[in-house]
Amino acid sequence: GENVEQHPSTLSVQEGDSAVIKCTYSDSASNYFPWYKQELGKRPQLIIDIRSNVGEKKDQRIAVTLNKTAKHFSLHITETQPEDSAVYFCAAHRWGGALGRLYFGRGTQLTVWP
């Protein structure tokens, strides 16, 4: 199966600084890489994703980069704000059997200090 490693497990930044979370995956057959944000007591919500045929994708203050050769992908948040504080999960999708599956990293607790 797939193995997704995520670092760091906790990250604290000052408001306005950038934050970077990194993930690696093991299976070159993985073809889709979403990032989920989970605020305290709430459901995980997709914030950005990237497919294996794309190297970078940006949506306002967030961006994701993918290096297929090295099997790693990263989430970049610029101009961080206190409301960015949450747990962020990366995941890798691959087909297994009759259905695609998402394999999740352990999560990164991001804290943005005002």
Partner 1 sequence: ETGVTQTPRHLVMGMTNKKSLKCEQHLGHNAMYWYKQSAKKPLELMFVYSLEERVENNSVPSRFSPECPNSSHLFLHLHTLQPEDSALYLCASSQDRSGTYEQYFGPGTRLTVT
Binding site for partner 1 (CB under 8 A): 4, 32, 34, 36, 42-46, 49, 89, 93, 97-102, 104-107
What is the identity of the amino acid at 9?
S
Cα(82)–Cα(74) distance, integer angstroms: 21
Nearest distance from C-beta of residue 97 to partner 1, angstroms: 6
Query: 68 vs 78, which CB is nearer to partner 1?
Result: 68
Query: 80 vs 103, which CB is nearer to partner 1?
Result: 103
Query: 78 vs 109, which CB is nearer to partner 1?
Result: 109
Instruction: For residue 23, give every residue at least 6 positions away whose Cβ sits within 8 Å of its Cβ, in sequence order, or none.
Output: 4, 5, 6, 7, 33, 72, 73, 74, 75, 90, 92, 105
